[in-house]
Amino acid sequence: MEKSKAIFRNAWPYQQDKMNLPVENVEAAIPFYETVMGFTVVSKKSSPYNTAVLSRDDIQVAISENGGDPAQDGCFFEVDNIVDALEELSSNGLEKKASDIGTQKHGDSSWKVFFVVAPDGLCYCLGERQH
């Protein structure tokens, strides 16, 4: 039986633009997004700088060689099931444990979350809204 996969519903950037996330080398970064995060490359462009648009479920993000600092950027991904998301990414090679899931409050909402730091330095928070 195939493991259930989380559905990625929304992506909110930490800085201004989820379609312009800074990486040093797009080609070197892509395998992590495809293999571990479950994204597919839907397009690439080289002008004004190397960029790859990545898609999964209901969201798209893009990584770009735009000169920005990856350690200062990333996205919050809303998923439908945080446990499925962690199990899926872990089975894809991410080194995380279930104990890495925590709870955060944002306004009136409570979220179960865990963090992923990509090899390119970008940080992602995956979260499931709690009702």
pLDDT value, residue 23: 98
Q: pLDDT confidence of 106, banded at 50, 70, 90?
A: confident
- Residue pair 72/15 in contact (Cβ under 8 Å)? The answer is yes
pLDDT level of residue 2 (50, 70, 90 thresholds): low
Could you give the CA distance from residue 90 to residue 83 in angstroms, rounded to a whole number? 10
- Cis peptide leading into residue 119 (ω within 30°): no
pTM listed for this prediction: 0.93
Which among 73, 54, 50 is positioned nearest to 120, based on CA atoms?
A: 73
Q: What domains are defined for the chain? A: 8-130 (3.10.180.10)
pLDDT in tens, 5-63: 999 999 999 998 999 999 999 999 999 999 999 999 999 999 999 999 999 999 999 99
